[in-house]
Amino acid sequence: MYFKDKTVLVTGGTGSMGGRLVRRILTGEEGLPKKVIVFSRDEAKQHDMRVSLSKSKIVTDEKIYSNFSQMLEFRIGDVRSYADVCSAVRDADVVINAAALKQVPTCEYFPAQAVRTNCLGVSNIIRAINENSFDIETVIAISTDKACKPINVMGMTKAIQERTVIAANILNPDTRFIGVRYGNVMASRGSVIPLFHDQIQRGGPVTITRPEMTRFLMSIDEAVDTVFAAANGALRGELYIPIAPSGTVLDLAHALIGDRDIRVDIVGIRPGEKLHEILVSEEEAFNTVRRGDYYVIRPMLPELRSPDETEEIALSSDFSSKDSVVPIYEVRALLDKHSMLL
């Protein structure tokens, strides 16, 4: 019940992950919060989210526009702006940083923009806490498998975010800075499943990069579960990683196509893409323990190491998508379980 009676700020709260996270927090499954603040720069997405939540009765249907008197509060702002961040962070007990530029090819073409959002954004959160002595209990940073041995700009900026958040614990002993790192979220905005759906509905062809390419497979609710697990169990500087299955992109395409007579075309790897993803590197493995359904990477900084490190090391090598591939019938079962089949 970690969020009970707390004010929770979610940056990027109108995105795929941020939006589902906000909805799950508002249900009270981890304790009913005092307030949830959605911080983002898109007023149209905020309006759509407000209307959607009102219709679902998760929040009170408003007769008048009373944004600041509701449990769910929307704030326009940008994590790139220190002033905007200060204004939002000062009222929070918990900050969850889900704001990101996450499209791999986009970040390759506009790396400076990725740095401003993915690196400077979290730096602004830490700076706001530092310079204003805000009483923040926990900051949770959302990261990605692409941050592990990164070869693309998106992963590189997320790797910097991870290290920035871990190091923030040193000069901020009263705030717990932790993170989560997870793989491909099926059917999230901009991911491959909505693209495949669209291509199938148009009669094909379905385009894949390389048939042997693998990706971790998890639902958006499983990603939220990872955030909740970290909020409840992570020590300062730790990263929580879900133990997720993976599948080939070819099997994913065929599972979605089913019995339809639709051609699959191989178009080649996009700028910045990996053939296989890694959630825990070989170098991190010796510092990784298992807690339930999660691997936990303990901080490498000696000042943050727990004096009682009795947990056994869980891995002897990396945790890669190429090593946990499930057969196509399991891929299809996963898609069916999460209502992603057409």
**Cα dihedral 37, 120, 145, 319 sign:** negative
CA distance 226 to 240: 7
Burial class, 151, CB count within 10 angstroms (exposed 0-12 / middle 13-18 / buried 19+): exposed
Contact 9, 92 (CB under 8 A): yes
Strand-strand pairing, 138-144 and 94-97: parallel
User: What length is written for the chain?
Assistant: 342
CA distance 30 to 50: 21
Task: Look up residue 141 and give its two tokens.
Answer: 């940073």
**Three-state SS for 250?**
helix
Q: Residue 158: which of 107, 110, 104, 119 has the closest Cα?
A: 119
Task: Look up residue 250 and give its two tokens.
Answer: 């070819």
Identify whether 102 is a catalytic site residue: no
Contact 79, 248 (CB under 8 A): no
Q: Tell me, what amino acid is at 123?
A: S
Cβ-based neighbours of 151, under 8 Å, separated by 6 or more: 272, 274
Category of 2 on φ-ψ map: left (φ > 0), alpha (ψ -120 to 50) or beta: alpha
**Catalytic residue (choose from 6, 102, 146, 158):** 146
Contact 93, 6 (CB under 8 A): yes
Half-sphere exposure of 323 (CA within 13 A, CB side): 11
**Cα dihedral 30, 36, 37, 40 sign:** positive
Radius of gyration of the chain (CA): 20
As annotated, the active-site residues are 146
